[in-house]
Structure 1
């Protein structure tokens, strides 16, 4: 498999703050939209690494033409676990951020996360942004507001004029992207577990791995907002039986772990107060 991965890195003039990894699978239009948002709405300098699965559309040629993008290319679709892990040798920043190609970061998204990082006196943390999604999936962690289901009907100007009204309180327990952690923590656990390929339940599995290593800060910032069109690649995938794999590996369900241990969706300050009383 390694012989099929082709990597390329552009020389950087300034050291990046985040190494942003974006797996993509023939989603050229929304990938361009995602990268445009990073370029336009970031306060800090970042490295952008694109993992290109197949590239049967114009993705590979377009990424090659951009002088600020690093990439890894696989001629076959290897899923998210192998994709993220194979990008490790390109990381130039101290912090690794995982972003999906169907996400659109909003102004100051990175400033909020970096300020939180600087307030922590530890490298044992996972932080994440808060998603805005067009449909109600029953996920209380997500802000529900419809600005389009894809690139063709994306109401970008309306979103940019209204997103500040969608800020929420910080909350506990996110396991999904966009999430960020120190590269040292990523290395400690060896990245995503490839037995979950192509990737279903690899997110909560990674959270469980770092929880076992002693991480207790799983915090999502309510002011760091990212619009999410929603599963533009996963809907096309043949999915692994991640729910069962998680139970067999850890002896409890992903739901039990995220609800009872990470207290997912709870107000972060309330979770801290309750934890201090127990």
Structure 2
């Protein structure tokens, strides 16, 4: 079984501006939470990473009790350090270990959200029924995932991992984004569960700067499983990165203002019927 990826919060947050923009777009489409009868709203962020977008939930619902869940100790440590504690409206923000593949709501939630995490979870749509069951009537389940698994950055990574030099060591690593469905598939699955559902996609044309900026971008996400598998073998890491760097330079040549990196994202907002 492949080793679980080791995450690097610092590398991930190097592009926090671009990475946060899709979540802001998702957040803007989440409806108001149902009336709570005086209790604090309850929110879960599944796959919270370093907690920077979890904190945005506290800005919109400052009186809520919000818990971020993640299976990376390094990400949770960073989230705790930077964001845990009381919020401006008397709410509370905390973080707990949990794997999105197995997480089940242990209490009723007004909102369950997941940002750029479910692409790592095989068969994640099978979790939708139990997550929606964990919502209060009128509650919302919302998520966004990358939809760029056919883009050169990811197609070339999968091709490189499949070369004889790397196949035996890396296996199918580099093709993990095949777990993502199209917006229409998510729409049907969530509507079948009784939710009023809105799905859409957006392609962001991000301008990245610096030397080999696309390589720097994927070091925070898609490359994590490969770097984890290669571990402490510095020679293998350097050789793999050199080969991948050359492929990316051809696929994403720099322009006069930086390197344009198209990035497709898929969104879904599903609201459970009121009581």
TM-score past 0.5 threshold? no
User: TM-score range with shorter-chain normalisation?
Assistant: under 0.3
Query: What TM-score, normalized by structure 1, do the two folds share?
Result: 0.27
Query: What TM-score, normalized by structure 2, do the two folds share?
Result: 0.27
